[in-house]
Structure 1
Amino acid sequence: MARRKIPYNKRATTYEEQITILRRHGVVISDEAKAREYLADIGYYRLGFYLYPFEKTYPRLDSGRSHNVILGTRIEDAVALYYFDLDLRNILHKYLSRIEVAIRTVFIYELSTKYSGDPTWFVCPSVVKPDFIANFPTAAYNSIKRNDVIKRHHKIYLGQYAPAWKTMEYMTLGNIEILYDSLILNKDKKLVSNRFGEPATATFKSYLSAIREVRNACAHGKTLFDLNLFTGIRRGKAGNFQGINRHTFREAMAVVDYLLKKISVNRVKDMWDDIYRVTELLYAKAPSLRPLIEDKTGIIIPEIEEKSEIQNS
């Protein structure tokens, strides 16, 4: 039975009122001026995402949820988690871009060389499903053709579309994912997935979805450490994912790690070094968060001896 809706009657609050509410929920605020700075910088509503793990009823979101926090929770703890999440988004955005470029490049090369007689194979009825072809102008190309490279192409050459190696450079990762799923022949999908060591095309499609969702979360400032993926990740070379764990950020990180290793082992090391650095900063400010971060993200900082082995490997 659907929950009965009620009128929304909450009003906007001032910084002073927000501080009062936070204290009422048990948040320790020793410096009101600094707390006001946090609220002005981050925002009361967004800060709530990072106070959420400190709530006594976490992870409940139903009517039984209480906003009251665990005894001793400071506003600085939530702020530290916010900046950790921000740093993590910035780090991952860099490496996800590397993965996206590699996927795009492999896709363009493998299919364009196979269908070398048709530069616009991505709208060919014998290669791609009709729904993709029918929707491509409005779903993708109307935006793509605004780019200067594509404009110059159409000033010189006939044809409705620029070739794949031009057009696909301007497709979004979501467009790429849909195109992959729209390939008629499974062996065409395998041309791409096999290059990344994953023979199961449905599994590779779930990897694309995970990368897209994490990338979008990074780009749009969504909470990352507590991210739940809309599309579950299938079991495959990146991990034996099962049940609810198919939707967590922890498993998404396993996919990021797997794909990046297929591109560059050195970049994987750089990524984890960057992640360990910001995680150590978080624990220095809010040590109580270690169990939560390890559980939600799978980020386990190696001991000094392990770090030396990794660096020398």
Structure 2
Amino acid sequence: MAINRIPFSKPASSPEQLLQKLERQGLVVDDFKRGQARNYMRFVGGYRLKGYWHHLVDPVTKNFPAGYRFEQIVSRCEFDRELRALTMAAVERLEIAVRVVMANHLSLKHSPHWFLDGNLFRQGRRQGAAELVAKIEAEVDRARDKTFVKHYFSRYSEPHLPPSWSVCECVTFGLWSRTYQLLKNPDDRKAISRRFNVDATEVFESWIHTLTVVRNMVAHSGQLLRVTLGVAPRDYRKADIRFSDSKSFYAVATVINYLLRQIGLPLEWSEQLKALFAKYPEVHLAEIGFPIDWGNRPGWL
């Protein structure tokens, strides 16, 4: 069905004008909070802040609920910001774990330069393997100023790339996720996933792909509150992990918690979430897909 489009004609408004507009729509801004409100409008931005309140206004009048205060918007914004920071720290821990486990297993079983062996990747996907090497070459080239990369090229003539344990410090998490997807030998895939206590390789593949998408999202300050994610981790039935909404943040958080518990390194993800939820009781957990009894569900126990 054709959509009738019109030229964009909205004028730009200053932060002060936007704040005044919100007040006309019924938003309460106390005098002693006005300076803070201006700073949020100036340095966070009215358009970004709208992501935290647009669902609250009357669809016809565009007015806020009676008595709704600017600091309530601030709480929602700060909750989301702190949730992103916690998520980034947790995913970073898992990113390093995944790439080290993959590099160690494949280097020990095949060779330190296993990624140059096209036979390790699925038949019919040689182009994928070639693209993989090309991306590694590009990432290593960008990292030429790093001490460990300089050392390799100053000492060794071949292969033309450093070994896997060096390369893994250069390339992106997305590339490691793609590498796992391309691996041909099911024994290699299973050996890697089992280090994280996941027997189903298709589940592990979907989980690390999900983590790469979420990592990029939070790295670019994407909103998590009231957002449907564009990626869905698979259920892991062996561990009784099933998601009623696999595109919710709760699904991602469950994957993060399960994997963190398998590696046994210090990062109290579930406790950090509990502390965050207690700090912002006005934010409903359902807005990020968390059930009330989330701490007692599979993946969290």
| Shorter-chain TM band | 0.7 to 0.9
Q: Quickly say closer, same or farther: Cα 1:56–1:106, change in 2 above 3 A.
A: farther
- TM-score w.r.t. length of structure 1: 0.82
Tell me how far apart the structure 2 counterparts of residues 265 and 180 of structure 1 sit (CA, whole Å).
23
Retained in 2: the 8 A contact 1:238–1:254? no
Tell me how far apart the structure 2 counterparts of residues 66 and 130 of structure 1 sit (CA, whole Å).
58
Q: Which moved more, 1:129-138 or 1:245-254?
A: 129-138
- TM-score w.r.t. length of structure 2: 0.85
Counterpart AA for 1:281? K
The number of equivalent residue pairs is 287
| Structure 1 residue aligned with 2:201 | 201
How far did residue 4 of structure 1 move?
3.7
Question: For residues 69-127 of structure 1, what are the alpha-carbon distances to aligned partners after superposition, in whole Å with 9 as ceiling and x for unaligned?
Answer: 33332111111111111111112222221111111111111111111xx3221131110
| Structure 2 residue aligned with 1:296 | 288
Does 2:79 match 1:80?
Answer: no
How far did residue 56 of structure 1 move?
4.4
Question: For residues 108-148 of structure 1, what are the alpha-carbon distances to aligned partners after superposition, in whole Å with 9 as ceiling and x for unaligned?
Answer: 11111111xx3221131110241233213543321223322
| Structure 1 residue aligned with 2:235 | 235
Retained in 1: the 8 A contact 2:136–2:171? yes
Does 2:113 match 1:120?
Answer: yes
Q: Which moved more, 1:205-214 or 1:30-39?
A: 30-39
Does 2:148 match 1:153?
Answer: no
Q: Quickly say closer, same or farther: Cα 1:34–1:51, change in 2 above 3 A.
A: same
How far did residue 302 of structure 1 move?
9.2
Question: For residues 170-189 of structure 1, what are the alpha-carbon distances to aligned partners after superposition, in whole Å with 9 as ceiling and x for unaligned?
Answer: 21110000111111122221
Counterpart AA for 2:150? K
Does 2:116 match 1:108?
Answer: no
Tell me how far apart the structure 2 counterparts of residues 228 and 151 of structure 1 sit (CA, whole Å).
43
Q: Quickly say closer, same or farther: Cα 1:137–1:113, change in 2 above 3 A.
A: closer
Question: For residues 270-303 of structure 1, what are the alpha-carbon distances to aligned partners after superposition, in whole Å with 9 as ceiling and x for unaligned?
Answer: 22222222222212xxx3x33xx24524275999
Tell me how far apart the structure 2 counterparts of residues 280 and 301 of structure 1 sit (CA, whole Å).
15
Match for 2:129 among 127, 133, 151?
133
Where 1:170 maps in the other structure, the secondary structure is coil
Does 2:52 match 1:46?
Answer: no
Where 1:234 maps in the other structure, the secondary structure is coil
User: Superposition RMSD on alpha carbons, in Å?
Assistant: 2.7
Does 2:274 match 1:276?
Answer: yes
| Structure 2 residue aligned with 1:61 | none
Q: Quickly say closer, same or farther: Cα 1:40–1:155, change in 2 above 3 A.
A: same
Tell me how far apart the structure 2 counterparts of residues 162 and 184 of structure 1 sit (CA, whole Å).
23
Tell me how far apart the structure 1 counterparts of residues 137 and 57 of structure 2 sit (CA, whole Å).
46
Structure 1: gaps spanning 5 or more residues = 58-64
Q: Quickly say closer, same or farther: Cα 1:299–1:42, change in 2 above 3 A.
A: farther
Quick check: which one's helix share is greater? 1
Retained in 2: the 8 A contact 1:210–1:229? no
Counterpart AA for 2:54? Y
Q: Quickly say closer, same or farther: Cα 1:34–1:250, change in 2 above 3 A.
A: same
